[in-house]
């Protein structure tokens, strides 16, 4: 029997599709950069196709079936799938069609032909980042508790927070529907009558941030969500949207195992 160390390695599976599109063109079309930049990404060994690392520039793929990752992040090749970041204004309800006729999210994507739906919720009094998409699997994973997608909030709360509040929140606070822990807590600004804090948590229960601070004696005065997973609100103005694509979309998909 040939010793294990002397056995030839199995050759990598051939992912080249002679009837397909050049890989660098597919990557460029997905927003990864110019074709030349995408060629450099390929030759650097940063691209996998269906789980196989590709370094050769002549490889062609079928963009309708290939699963491509760059630096471990999934590349979205289906241009019919769209995901949008919205900075939701105060007073808007997290619904695509509010049954009571109140301001809802539909107004911000009224010019799009895709049937969009929102990922998660923000109460009407909370501003900030909410995602809209027609990708059902992405939406499901972003909202399912098992994927534990972190969300970051900026809150103005009543009163000057005590030094030990962060530890209390990270250790856990008991609410009427069970305990809640935050991942991190940071005090950004304090005055004798109010504090501005940043809190990160995975929880998705209704009004969880407001209920949490109410329980510890610091009711929320103003609340905004600034980040969902790797997607940041950044400088997006209130009431405006932007399409999430390229590397940013890939990082979001990877965050939920896609």
Known catalytic membership, residue 62: no
Q: 185 in the Ramachandran plot: left (φ > 0), alpha (ψ -120 to 50) or beta?
A: beta
Which residues partner with 73 through β-bridges?
Answer: 70
Q: Does residue 54 contact residue 48 with C-beta atoms inside 8 Å?
A: yes
DSSP annotation of 148? -
Q: How many CB atoms lie within 10 A of CB 75?
A: 24
Catalytic residue (one of 123, 135, 177, 183): 123
DSSP H or E segment with residue 185: strand 184-190
Measured CA to CA, the distance from residue 35 to residue 58 in angstroms comes to 13
CB atoms within 10 A of CB 46: 18
Determine the Cα–Cα distance for residues 194 and 168; give it in Å rounded to an integer. 19
- For 139, phi then psi, to 5°, come to -60, -45
Torsional sign, CA 204, 223, 128, 165: negative
Catalytic residues: 123
């Amino acid at each position: 029997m040939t010793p294990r160390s002397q056995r030839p390695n199995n050759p990598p599976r051939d992912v080249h599709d002679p009837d397909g599109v050049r890989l660098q063109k597919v990557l460029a079309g997905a927003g990864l950069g110019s074709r030349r930049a995408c060629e450099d990404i390929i030759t650097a060994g940063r691209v996998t196709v269906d789980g196989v690392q590709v370094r050769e520039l002549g490889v062609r793929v079928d963009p309708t079936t290939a699963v491509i990752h760059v630096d471990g992040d999934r590349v979205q090749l289906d241009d019919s799938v769209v995901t949008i970041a919205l900075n939701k204004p105060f007073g808007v309800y997290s619904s695509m069609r509010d049954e009571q006729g109140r301001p809802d999210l539909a107004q911000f994507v009224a010019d799009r032909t895709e049937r969009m739906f929102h990922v998660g919720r923000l109460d009407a009094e909370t501003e900030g980042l909410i995602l809209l998409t027609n990708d059902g699997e992405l939406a499901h994973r972003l909202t399912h508790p098992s994927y534990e997608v972190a969300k970051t909030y900026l809150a103005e709360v009543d009163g000057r927070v005590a030094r030990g509040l962060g530890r209390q929140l990270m250790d856990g606070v008991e609410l009427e529907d069970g305990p809640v822990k935050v991942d991190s807590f940071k005090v950004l600004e304090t005055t004798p009558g109010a504090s501005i804090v940043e809190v990160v948590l995975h929880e998705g229960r209704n009004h969880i941030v407001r209920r949490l601070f109410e329980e510890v004696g610091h009711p929320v005065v103003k609340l905004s969500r600034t980040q969902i997973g790797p997607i940041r609100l950044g400088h997006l103005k209130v009431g405006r949207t932007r399409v999430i694509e390229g590397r940013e979309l890939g990082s979001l998909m990877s965050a939920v195992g896609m």
